Amino acid sequence: MSFSTSLPPVASLWVGGELNWLHKLCLASYAHHGHEVVLFFMADTAPTVPPGVRTAPITDIWDPAPAGHADAPASMLSDLFRLHLLKQTDMVWIDTDMLAVQPMQVAEYHVGFEPSGSLNGAVLRLPKTSQTLNTLLDWFADPEWITPWLSAEDQAEIAKAPPGKRLLRAFELRRPSVGPRALAYTMRKFGELKHAQKPEVFYPLRGVMTDVLFSGHCVEDHWNTKNTLAVHLYHSMVRWYHKTHRPQENSFIARAVQDIGFDLTGVKQQKLGKL
């Protein structure tokens, strides 16, 4: 499968074993729309990926071990890795549960709000000169640094951790503290929040509503506008049943599978009772 050089390459990080079919579908959706897709990995061997996706070791971009983060939780590694990716490449970061709806064009900034008004970094592109990007890289590289966007109580708790473990402690206290909260605080501080897109672009549905994407009874997709580039599946909130069974016929996910030509071999069929 070839990719278009007029579209920005996209990349993500995988920490662990094999991807499940939903993650593979999401990566395949970007390849389907013409993007070069790279999945960086941290394990000794690369996971199996769909056609049109290539793999590369995390150390091609950043080695977390010298910074003391080799054993950090996967989502914290992801939050840190994407900053190094943006500084060193022209790739757009995508979470592995972002499903492309249409191609994403080259732009200095790709970042968006959720329906709740919170900023999310599941799709992220900042220019290499961005004060947000460079400041976060500097802050996170300082072993004694304490996240200023958390409460005074949290900051006091973080200060008790030894240098080198304070960022991990911040993450343990408030999981979004190294990702979305850091991004929102810093973009607001440097006047870059104006570049954030409306929810319809990347987050047209709240995480608690993504069940509708798997239902064959919800086929009109009113959430999908001409401005929608992708939909965040919020994989951690997707029901286990959806993760282990094929999507219902005519559902948005089933239609995406068909459009992409994605192979569902090995994914269980849903059981349908006789009327």
| 3-state SS record for the chain | CCCCCCCCCEEEEECCCCCCHHHHHHHHHHHHCCCCEEEEECCCCCCCCCCCEEEEEHHHCCCCCCCCCCCCCHHHHHHHHHHHHHHHCCCEEECCCEEECCCCCCCCCEEEECCCCCEEEEEEECCCCCHHHHHHHHHHHCCCCCCCCCCHHHHHHHHCCCCCCHHHHHHHHCHHHHCHHHHHHHHHHCCCHHHCECHHHHCCCCHHHHHHHHCCCCCCCCCCCCCCCEEECCHHHCCHHHHHECCCCCCHHHHHHHHHCCCCCCCECCCCCCC
Listed by start position, the domains of the chain span 10-127+192-260
The whole-number pLDDT of residue 70 equals: 87
Tens-binned pLDDT, residue by residue, of the chain (275 aa)? 678 999 999 999 999 889 999 999 999 999 999 999 999 999 889 999 999 999 999 999 999 999 889 888 999 999 999 999 999 999 999 999 999 999 999 999 999 999 999 999 999 999 999 999 999 999 999 988 999 999 999 999 999 999 888 998 999 888 888 899 999 999 999 999 999 999 999 999 999 999 999 999 888 899 999 999 999 999 999 999 999 999 999 999 999 999 999 999 999 998 765 54
**pLDDT tens per residue across span 166-221:** 998 999 888 888 899 999 999 999 999 999 999 999 999 999 999 999 999 888 89
CATH topology of domain 10-127+192-260: Spore Coat Polysaccharide Biosynthesis Protein SpsA; Chain A (3.90.550)
**pLDDT tens per residue across span 62-87:** 999 998 898 889 999 999 999 999 99
